[in-house]
Chains A and B, each alone.
Chain A
Amino acid sequence: MHWSLIIYAGIITFVTRFSMIFLLKKDILNDRAKKILSFVPAAIFPAIIFPPIFLNSAGSLDLEGNPQILAAIFAIIIGYFSKNIIATIFAGLISYWLLIFFYF
C-alpha cells in the first residue's frame, strides 16, 4: 500500500464531512433527501458483510456446513433482541469459535 492512497482516502473522507458545513448557511436538504440518506448504512454495510460470509476463498458460493453463516444468524438473533452492539459482536464470535472447535 502506498501512503498516497491513504492521503487521498483521508481527503475524500474530510471533504464529505466538510462540504455541507462549508457551503450551507442553513439546512436545505428536504425531508425526502434525508429519508433516503438515512438508508445509506443499510445500503452499504451488507455489501461489506455478505461476500466474506457466503463466498469461500476461491470466490464461489459456500452454503453447506459454513460456520460463518450459522454464527452470523445467531448474532442477528442476539442483536434483534438485545439491541446491544457489543453483545451482538461477541455472540457471533463466540458461537463461531464453538462451531469451528466442535463441528467443523
Chain B
Amino acid sequence: MNNKLKTLAKGIIDVSPLMIPVVPFGIIYGVIGMDLGIGPYMTLGLSIIIFGGASQIVLLQLFSGGASSLVILSSVGAVNSRHVLYGAVLSEHLSNLKLSWKIILSYVMTDQAFAVSNNYFKKNNKDKNYHYHLLGSGFTCWTIWQISTILGIVLGSVVPEELGLSFTISLTFLALLIGDFRKFKNIIVMLVSGIVATIGYNTIPFKAYIIVAALSALIVALLLTLIDLKKK
C-alpha cells in the first residue's frame, strides 16, 4: 500500500472509536429537525452545508424560538469560536499545503478529527503525506454524520412526541461536558453560563441569551485564569 493510503487509513482507524457517540447525536438531530417541521431536505441540508452538530442544534432551537437571523447567526458564530483554537494549533502543520487542501481540510475539521489528527501530526512530523491523516479522520466524521442524520430523518416520522426527545438536546450537550465536571473552575464557568441564560431567556431582548451568557461566562473564565497566574 502506498504511503498516502496508509496515512489515510490510519486517520480513519484513529477516529473510529470517537464516532460511537456521534451516531446517537446525529440521529437525535435528524429526529428534532423533522419534529420542528423543516422537512427532510433542509434537515439533511444543514448537516451537509454547516456540518457541525452544536451549530445545527443551536440554529434549530433559536429558529423554533422565533429568534431573528442576526441573533441566530451570531449565536452560531459563538458556538463555533472554539474552531479558531483548532485552526491556530493546526496552522503550523498545514501552512505549506495548497489552498485547495486548506479549504477541504477546514470543511471537515471537527472536534473529533482535530483531536486525533493533531496528535498524529505532533508524533509524525517526518511523514510527508501527514495531511492525509486529517482527510481520513475528517471524512469519516462527515460520512458518519450524514448517515446518522438520514437515520434520524427516517425515525423522526415514527418517534412519538411524548418521548420528550427535545430533552435529549440538553442531555447531549451535557454529555459533551463530562470532561469538565471534575474541574472546579470549569464548574463555575458552566454555572455562570447556565444561570445567566435561564434568567436572560425572557429578559434579554432578541433571544440573544446564548451570546450574553457565553460572554459573561468567558469573562469569568478570564478572571479565574488571571487570578491563577498571579498566584504563581
Chain A residues engaging chain B, CB cutoff 8 angstroms: 1, 3, 5-10, 12-14, 16-29, 32, 34-55, 59-61, 68, 71-72, 75-76, 79-80, 83-86, 88-89, 92-93, 96-97, 100
The answer to whether A86 and B21 touch across the interface, beta carbons within 8 angstroms, is: yes
Chain A residues, CB < 8 A from B54 = 44-45, 48
The answer to whether B85 and A34 touch across the interface, beta carbons within 8 angstroms, is: yes
- Residues of chain B in range 85-141 having any CB-CB distance to chain A below 8 Å: 85-92, 94-95, 99, 102-103, 105-107, 109
Count of inter-chain pairs, beta carbons less than 8 A = 268
Nearest to B90 among chain A residues (CB) is A21
> For the side of the interface on B, what is the size category?
35 or more
Bound CA span A50–B198, Å: 6
Q: Tell me whether A40 and B175 are in contact in the complex, defined as CB-CB below 8 angstroms, given that A46-B217, A72-B170, A76-B181 are known contacts.
A: no
Bound CA span A7–B45, Å: 9
Mostly, the A contact residues are helix
B3 within 8 A of partner (CB)? no
The answer to whether A3 and B85 touch across the interface, beta carbons within 8 angstroms, is: no
The answer to whether B217 and A42 touch across the interface, beta carbons within 8 angstroms, is: yes
8 interchain residue pairs of minimum CB distance: A20-B87, A46-B194, A50-B194, A43-B217, A24-B91, A47-B197, A47-B213, A10-B49
Bound CA span A80–B21, Å: 17
The answer to whether B85 and A37 touch across the interface, beta carbons within 8 angstroms, is: yes
Chain B residues, CB < 8 A from A47 = 193-194, 196-197, 209-210, 213-214, 217
